[in-house]
Homo-oligomer: A and B are copies of this chain.
Amino acid sequence: MDRIFRALADATRRDIVRRTLIDEETVSQLAQDYAMSFAAVQKHVAVLETAGLVTKQQHGRERLVRANPAVIQRAQALLDSYEELWQSRISRLDALLSGDEQ
Binding site for B on A (CB under 8 A): 1-6, 8-11, 14, 17-18, 21-23, 67, 69, 72-73, 75-76, 78-80, 82-83, 85-86, 88-89
Contacts and interface: CB of A to CB of B under 8 A. Distances in A.
Number of chain copies forming the complex: 2
15 contacts: A5-B5, A6-B6, A6-B9, A14-B78, A21-B82, A21-B89, A22-B85, A23-B89, A67-B86, A69-B82, A72-B83, A72-B86, A73-B83, A76-B80, A76-B83
Contacts of A1: 11, 14
Top 5 A-B residue pairs of the complex, sorted by shortest distance between their CB atoms? A5-B9, A6-B9, A21-B85, A5-B8, A69-B86
